[in-house]
């Protein structure tokens, strides 16, 4: 069952994510904070966001293109085995922590400044 939720205050999103099976995101602009929060919360993200798909991968395991569709991504997620799902969620979690967590940004900035 798909449930469309009303607008939420940003600080309540992490708790909200923990109560749902996946996060569906239909915006194809820059990677925004809410997609990263869902990934950090270890909630599967279904999206057409090209930047997210390029960095984190698609549930379809195909080359990411602007032709990606939410229904195709969701169908692919639903066909993913439990073991594969667990591994993929963990891989994406580690990736977001490495690339988007504040300490990682500071470390990369220091490398640039010191080089």
Highest mean pLDDT pick, 20-29, 66-75, 103-112: 20-29
The pLDDT of residue 115 is 79
Query: In the prediction, which pLDDT does 66 show?
Result: 52
Query: Which tokens in the block code for residue 28?
Result: 């194809």
d(CA 102, CA 45): 21
pLDDT at 87: 95
Enumerate the domain spans of the chain: 10-114
Any residues with CB less than 8 A from the CB of 16 and at least 6 apart, and which? 5, 8
Q: At what angle do helices 82-100 and 102-114 cross, to 10 degrees?
A: 50
Please state the three-class secondary structure of 46-72 as a single string.
EECCHHHHHHHCCCCCCCCCCCCCHHH
pLDDT tens-digit map of 76-92: 999 999 999 999 999 99
pLDDT (tens digit, 9 = 90+) per residue, 32-79?
A: 888 888 998 899 999 999 899 989 988 887 656 555 688 888 999 999
Query: Could you tell me the two tokens for 39?
Result: 């990934």
């Amino acid at each position: 069952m798909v449930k469309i939720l009303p607008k939420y205050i940003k600080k309540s999103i992490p708790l909200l994510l923990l109560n749902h099976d996946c996060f569906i995101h239909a915006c194809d602009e820059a990677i925004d904070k809410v997609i990263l929060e869902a990934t950090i919360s270890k909630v599967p993200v279904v999206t057409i966001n090209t930047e997210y798909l390029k960095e984190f991968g698609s549930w379809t395991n195909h080359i990411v293109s602007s032709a990606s569709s939410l229904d195709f991504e969701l169908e692919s997620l639903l066909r993913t085995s439990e073991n594969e799902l667990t591994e993929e969620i963990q891989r994406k979690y580690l990736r977001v922590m490495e690339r988007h967590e504040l300490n990682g940004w500071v470390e990369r900035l220091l490398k640039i400044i010191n080089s």
